[in-house]
Structure 1
Amino acid sequence: MEAFVGTGVALITPFKEDLSVDTDALANLVKDQIENAIEYLVVLGTTAESATLTQDEKELIKETIKKANAGRLPLVLGIGGNNTVAVAEELKTSNLDGFDAILSVSPYYNKPTQEGIYRHFKAVSEASPLPVILYNVPGRTSSNVLPETVNRIARDFDNIIGVKEAAGDIVQAMKIISLVPEDFKVISGDDMITLPMTLAGGKGVISVIGQGLPKEFSDMVRAGLDGKVAEAYRLHYKIAPSIDLIFAEGNPAGIKALLAKKGMVANYLRLPLVEASENLTSRINSFVESF
Structure 2
Amino acid sequence: MSIRSLRDMTLEELMKLLKAPVFDESGRRLGLLERIYADSKKKVAKKAVIRFDNGKRKKVSADQLFYASGAVVYSRKGVIKGKPLFADSEPDLAQAKEILDKMKVIKERMLKLDELLVEGKITETTFKILRGDYEAQLKSLQEMGMKYFEKLKKRLMELESREEKLSEELNLIEARMYVGEISENEYQKKAGPIKLELDRIRGQIKVIREFLQECTSDVIIGLPEKVKVEKGDISVARPRSAEGRQEFEVKVIEEDEDEEGRVKL
- TM-score, L = length of structure 1: 0.24
Higher relative contact order (CA 8 A, sep 6+): 2
- TM-score, L = length of structure 2: 0.26
Larger Rg: 2
